[in-house]
Amino acid sequence: MERSRKFIKPKADVTTDGLYISVKICGVNVNCLIDTGATSTVLHPTKYLDIPSRDRPRLEKRRYNIQVADGSVVTPLGSIEAILEINGKLVKHSTLVADIDAPAVIGYDFLHAHDCQIDMGGGSLLFAGEKLKCQRESRMESIFRVTIHENVVVPPDCEMIVMADIQGKTQGGDSVLVESNMVRMDAEGIRAARAVVKPEDGVIPIRMINTNKEPKQLYKGTCAAYGEQVTVGTQHGKAYGDDRINSLKETNELPAHLEDMFNRCREQVEPDKHEAIKNLLIAYQDDFAKSKNDLGRTNLVQHRVDTGTAPPVKQRPRRLALSKREAAAKEVDRMLENGIIEPSTSAWASPVVLGVKAGEHLALCA
């Protein structure tokens, strides 16, 4: 006698795509993919840069690679101690910063550390004893992978427009902000330029730049960039920057370090524009150095000079004129005090060269 077999029919609304949850990472809203197959929690570099500089955690270097879902290997830029806010609860968690195909990934390390449970059928995540509703990727309108539409060759040292496909749904009329698939494409000397484009039938033009000395083949389906849906337009007729200028400090006084720049600008523009230039300088005063000691420094990259197998070059020191020795000594002391230079025992060495810069003052030349 043959037994009858019963098949279980899946729910009609259940899809096989990923679950996303909204998380605030260091104060920035990020849609995070929940991935039990990822051993680490990862944040995309552009989302890391969205964190205001005053709140942005220091990026600590890591010397290992990670393998992503498509099998390719990615080198993280580093890791940060990130503050994650989920459903009003704050959690500190070590997070990698790497070029992945999602804004962020909540990995097994986080899920295990906080005893999370995933209900795939119900589309929810149990966190800190509370069930949180997740959103399925197919129903999200803001996260896209941008892939090459068809095989194309980009000439050396050139840029060209390439057609690309949006892997996701977009709302009609809205634009897509395209940003390069940074680390993976940069390692091959090619990347997509940042741009805002209007999608038509899921296809968009992107500008690809090849910095290599030989042609570069891009294959259909290669993830060249990722996109986020944005709404472009003016706000009640205001131009960009109006809000910042309208929120000037009550004193409305021009800082002393910008007075010389303002005076030089006034000599070259009509009087009716003087007030606008002054307001602009006040609004963006923090973007100007107050002195030659007020220098910025990035913690995202470390500059390296690859000398290959070349032997060190050590040039003989040259005597400075007596009138310049005191100025040279003061300049060296100033740069040491401000962390611009540091003592070195390198085999590479060159003598000091003093040059005359604007204002008739002496400065060391690199």
Same domain, 45 and 125: yes
Asked whether the beta carbons of 147 and 108 are under 8 A apart, the reply is: no
Query: Does 131 fall in a domain?
Result: yes
Lowest mean pLDDT among 183-187, 235-239, 313-317: 235-239
Query: Does 317 fall in a domain?
Result: no
Number of domains in the chain: 4
How many whole angstroms separate alpha carbon 80 and alpha carbon 298? 15
| Angle, helix 274-283 to helix 259-266, in steps of 10 degrees | 150
Listed residues 114, 139, 164: the one ending a domain? 139
How many whole angstroms separate alpha carbon 76 and alpha carbon 225? 17
Say whether pLDDT at 154 is over 80.
yes
- The DSSP secondary structure of 111-169, one letter per residue, reads HHHTT-EEETTTTEEEETTEEEE-EEGGG-SS-EEEEESS-EEEPTTEEEEEEEEEES-
Tens digit of each residue's pLDDT (9 = 90 or more) over 347-359: 888 888 887 776 6
Say whether pLDDT at 11 is over 70.
no
Give the residue carrying structure tokens 């006040």: 282
pLDDT value for 9: 46
Query: Does 53 fall in a domain?
Result: yes
% of the chain surpassing 90 pLDDT = 12
- CB contact set of 203 (below 8 Å; sequence gap of 6+): 149, 163, 164, 165, 166
Same domain, 127 and 61: yes
| Banded model confidence at residue 10, pLDDT cuts 50, 70, 90 | very low
The CA-to-CA distance between both ends of the chain, in Å, stands at: 92
How many whole angstroms separate alpha carbon 151 and alpha carbon 221? 9
Beta strand 175-180 with 223-230 is antiparallel
Same domain, 134 and 148: no
Mean pLDDT over residues 307-335, rounded? 85
How many whole angstroms separate alpha carbon 32 and alpha carbon 142? 12
Mean pLDDT over residues 13-37, rounded? 81
Instruction: Render the burial of 7-28: b for 16+ CB within 10 Å, e for the rest.
Output: eeeeeeeeeeebbbbebebbeb
Rg (CA), the chain: 27
Say whether pLDDT at 223 is over 70.
yes
Q: Which residue has the higher pLDDT, 83 or 77?
A: 83
Say whether pLDDT at 179 is over 50.
yes
How many whole angstroms separate alpha carbon 66 and alpha carbon 77? 11
Amino acid at 33: L
Listed residues 230, 252, 271: the one ending a domain? 230
Same domain, 111 and 32: yes
Global pTM reads: 0.47
pLDDT value for 244: 47
Query: Does 314 fall in a domain?
Result: no
pLDDT value for 332: 87
Is 2 exposed, middle or buried (CB count within 10 Å of its CB: 0-12, 13-18, 19+)?
exposed
Query: Does 9 fall in a domain?
Result: no
Amino acid at 233: G
pLDDT value for 110: 94
Say whether pLDDT at 107 is over 50.
yes
Average pLDDT over all residues of the chain: 79
| Banded model confidence at residue 94, pLDDT cuts 50, 70, 90 | very high
The CATH number for 208's domain is: 2.70.40.10
Listed residues 301, 332, 347: the one ending a domain? 301
Amino acid at 263: N
Asked whether the beta carbons of 43 and 82 are under 8 A apart, the reply is: yes
pLDDT value for 231: 63
- CA-to-CA separations, 196 to 48, 154, 168, 177, 352, in angstroms, rounded: 20, 21, 17, 4, 48
Mean pLDDT over residues 136-147, rounded? 68
Same domain, 26 and 134: yes
Other CB atoms within a 10 A radius of the CB of residue 143 amount to 20
Phi/psi of residue 208, each to 5°?
-100, 135
Say whether pLDDT at 329 is over 70.
yes
The two structure tokens encoding residue 298: 């990035």
| Banded model confidence at residue 245, pLDDT cuts 50, 70, 90 | very low
Enclosing domain of residue 337: 322-364
Asked whether the beta carbons of 113 and 94 are under 8 A apart, the reply is: no
